[in-house]
Structure 1
Amino acid sequence: MAKKGSVFRGLRQFDGYAKTLDDFRVKTTGGASGKYKNCEINAFIELLNYVPVTIISTLIIITLVCSEVLVYTTPHWKPSLVVDKSRKEKMPINFNITFPNMPCHMLNVDIMDAMGGHSSGYSQDVTKVRLDLDGVPVDLGESVTLEPATECGSCYGANALREDGCCNTCQEVREAYVKMGWGMVDVKEIDQCVREGWLERFEKQSNEGCNIHGHLLVNKVRGNFHIAPGDAFQTSTMHVHDLKEFSAGAPDGHKFDLSHTIHKLKFGPDSKDETETILAVTDALAGVSKAAGEGRAVFQYFVKIVSTRLFPITGIPTLTNQYSVTQNDVEGAKGGLPGVFFMLEISPMQISYKETRKSFSSLLTGVLAIIGGVYTVAGLIDRVVYRAEKAYKKKVELGKTL
């Protein structure tokens, strides 16, 4: 049986890192951090000798390894494009818009879509805040306390669509007229409106503005929602607003206009996640202001919406929507309905962002590659410097230098 020592000695022939004797190793000042002090050497060689190859290479290795560790510990988002499977779901819309020159009672929100959905005077989850000329809230609204009606109030000929045929308030009369397609009533001639002080309210609030904000829920199909003056009603297939008050102007003679500032317009949950804000453009119209001149004005925002889903490493996936906008403003549009229109177009695709992090094996591979690469390059540079220095010293000894 062969001795154990001879077996291990036989393994030496497979050593890929043959060792040289210390007697044959040469340590140079350039390879470490020193300076070769010889006033006769060439400036180029002197410059090279100033280079502390080992120290510089070590610093480079430390810097690159730290950057590799930073990349490993910092997750990144990987985007992909898939088919949107949530088209049958409702899409929430969160908005906040201020009209400095329009009283709240004259503004209405209407929703229309390609599926035939139509909602005029949408008020659910919508809040109107009256503002003074300085933009300070006046109050959250006002209520009128009425005595219970003892008899059926007249609808002034518009009671055909009322189940009980009675209109006991001014609002009920106005709604009955809208449903009949007759336009708005003259509040001076309606007893309910006179009793509730509608004319006095119109005169009192004519010099106010309005902040309108809230939450809408719409179908994920092509459509629009708009904010326009006057109550809306349908005549055959046409969507019409009664613009009597808007066209007549305020009792003191000043004209209303649709100048506005969009504070927020987001499609999807009203989230304040910073990651969502960085990855997706979810509030592209925030801060947009428009000034309307004299006469009617139509402000159109053509919005293209893309569903976006975020999959974080930890936590619950988030569904939101990002969008791009094309704007079109028409001043003095005599034939069009004045208002602020948001034309919605829904993309059939969805952008998916998945948060990922490099594996530990990738980190280990990168660190070893950095150490080996920098060490090899530094060795080549040191070898070149050493040979150049040695050749020059030999010429000096032979007296062949200038």
Structure 2
Amino acid sequence: MGRNGMFGSFQGFDAFGKTMEDVKIKTRTGALLTFISLSIILTSVMLEFIDYRRIHLEPSIIVDRSRGEKLVIDFDIEFPRVPCYLLSLDVMDISGEHQTEFEHQVTKTRMNKDGNVISKVQGSQLKGDVERANLNQDPNYCGSCYGAPPPESGCCNSCEEVRQAYGRKGWSFSDPEGIEQCVEEGWMDKMKEQNEEGCRIDGHIRVNKVIGNLHFSPGRSFQNNMMQMLELVPYLRDKNHHDFGHIVHKFRFGGDMTKAEELTVLPKEQRWRDKLGLRDPLQGMKAHTEVSNYMFQYFLKVVSTNFISLNGEEIPSHQYSVTQYERDLRTGNAPGKDAHGHMTSHGMMGVPGVFFNYEISPMKVIHTEERQSFAHFLTSTCAIVGGVLTVASLVDSFIFSSSKRLKKKSEDSFRGPSGKIL
């Protein structure tokens, strides 16, 4: 075998053929294409580097597998024409749990006609200032329930206990001036004093992570998702105008956290929400009516949303969509025509108030911070350099060969049939 036999055969695989320096042809067009190619390569590589350093948010959807969790509803709602003594807050869910008392979680603010603050009340119950009155009674005092079934204690020692006893009996509580306990508490005087006031209620409550509703209503608490009209007597018979027009300053859902966790997690959650442009759809919502016997309903679809940063820190949050529905209760549940001329009827009597009916989505949205790997950046850079140079070489080859053909045709046109230049 010759000296270069084996290596000579191997050289046949060389994909990078070389040319002698003295046979290379350099043109102005090639120089221009080289300059353009370098500019494109530098610009593209710089953009690729910026993209490599940029943090991307990658959304994904999974099934929410959490169990036994609690939700926190954070709210701040103003009722300009409902006094605080008439306003009740209740929470019910599909499991049958009914919350009516909230200790140190909710504040009611009395407001005058001009929207100025009169006073704030933070108590264990949200059924009115009358219920928190302290009576100077004899220790052995046992108030009458006036023929209604008494509570477990056997006595009705407050105006509210008499009201509840009347409710259990199905009687209308329409004459508090004839009730000793109500007279001693100054129940009617306080009603008259606050008749022209409004109320702003804010705070947070823990609820089960199931279908439920939170509602603001006049009078005593709801039972079986309904409220007897007898409980609305002070609201509907008042000579002053009351209605449940309202302004929602804040209404959002959050995870169940301790105070220490709230201090660290909530600011981070807000930064995430601002980054993604997430906004609570009910925030700033204004609803107006001139009708006292009027019901507002909001149907909310709550979706758990988690944010995962580059360092693996996970921040829980929630977002929701909402559909609004309003109903004038003056016609009861009798059939009537809607705005489109269709006959509609209601299966149950409504109740004046504001209802937030929430439903929990079985899906969870996860936003994950991601950054491109260095290998991806390196691969993209090589692709940019190789691609630009390859295209530039093809363009240069096409221009060079075209110019040669044109030059040859031009020379042939100056030669005669004998090949001599004319």
Q: TM-score range by the shorter chain?
A: 0.7 to 0.9
User: Per-residue CA shift, 1:165-186, capped at 9, x if unaligned?
Assistant: 4455444544555566545464
1:329 to 323, 326, 329: 326
2:137 to 137, 144, 149: 149
Question: 1:314 aligns to what?
Answer: 311
Please give the alpha-carbon distance, in whole angstroms, between the structure 2 residues aligned to 1:237 and 1:388: 86
- How many residues are aligned here? 375
* 1:389 and 2:403 matched: yes
Do the aligned residues in 2 keep the contact of 1:298 with 1:333 (CA within 8 Å)?
Answer: no
Report the CA distance between 1:16 and its aligned residue: 2.8
Residue 184 and residue 369 in structure 1: after superposition, are their counterparts in 2 closer, same or farther (change >3 A)?
A: farther
Question: 1:46 aligns to what?
Answer: none
What letter matches 1:365 in structure 2?
T
* 1:208 and 2:197 matched: yes
Do the aligned residues in 1 keep the contact of 2:107 with 2:121 (CA within 8 Å)?
Answer: no
Residue 237 and residue 220 in structure 1: after superposition, are their counterparts in 2 closer, same or farther (change >3 A)?
A: closer
Do the aligned residues in 1 keep the contact of 2:307 with 2:315 (CA within 8 Å)?
Answer: yes
Residue 233 and residue 383 in structure 1: after superposition, are their counterparts in 2 closer, same or farther (change >3 A)?
A: closer
Gaps of 5+ in 2: 123-128, 256-261, 333-349, 415-422
Name the Cα RMSD after superposition: 3.4
Report the CA distance between 1:10 and its aligned residue: 9.7
Residue 179 and residue 321 in structure 1: after superposition, are their counterparts in 2 closer, same or farther (change >3 A)?
A: farther
Residue 274 and residue 158 in structure 1: after superposition, are their counterparts in 2 closer, same or farther (change >3 A)?
A: farther
Report the CA distance between 1:104 and its aligned residue: 1.8
Do the aligned residues in 2 keep the contact of 1:232 with 1:240 (CA within 8 Å)?
Answer: no
Please give the alpha-carbon distance, in whole angstroms, between the structure 2 residues aligned to 1:389 and 1:56: 20
Alignment of 1:370-385 (within 5 A): 370-385=384-399
Do the aligned residues in 2 keep the contact of 1:108 with 1:121 (CA within 8 Å)?
Answer: no
Please give the alpha-carbon distance, in whole angstroms, between the structure 1 residues aligned to 2:115 and 2:294: 22
SS at match of 2:121: coil
Report the CA distance between 1:59 and its aligned residue: 2.2
* 1:361 and 2:375 matched: yes
Question: 1:49 aligns to what?
Answer: none
Report the CA distance between 1:386 and its aligned residue: 2.8
Question: 2:221 aligns to what?
Answer: 232
Question: 2:47 aligns to what?
Answer: 67
Question: 2:417 aligns to what?
Answer: none
Report the CA distance between 1:106 and its aligned residue: 1.4
Do the aligned residues in 2 keep the contact of 1:299 with 1:341 (CA within 8 Å)?
Answer: yes
Please give the alpha-carbon distance, in whole angstroms, between the structure 1 residues aligned to 2:277 and 2:106: 26
Over the matched positions of the two proteins, sequence identity in percent amounts to 39
Gaps of 5+ in 1: 33-51
Q: TM-score, normalised by structure 2?
A: 0.77
Report the CA distance between 1:188 and its aligned residue: 2.5
Question: 1:16 aligns to what?
Answer: 15
Question: 2:178 aligns to what?
Answer: 189
Residue 29 and residue 155 in structure 1: after superposition, are their counterparts in 2 closer, same or farther (change >3 A)?
A: farther
User: Per-residue CA shift, 1:245-297, capped at 9, x if unaligned?
Assistant: 221234xxx41111112222212248342324555856222222211132421
Alignment of 1:74-223 (within 5 A): 74-120=54-100, 125-141=105-121, 146=134, 148-151=136-139, 152=141, 154-157=143-146, 161-178=150-167, 182=171, 184=173, 186-223=175-212
* 1:350 and 2:364 matched: yes
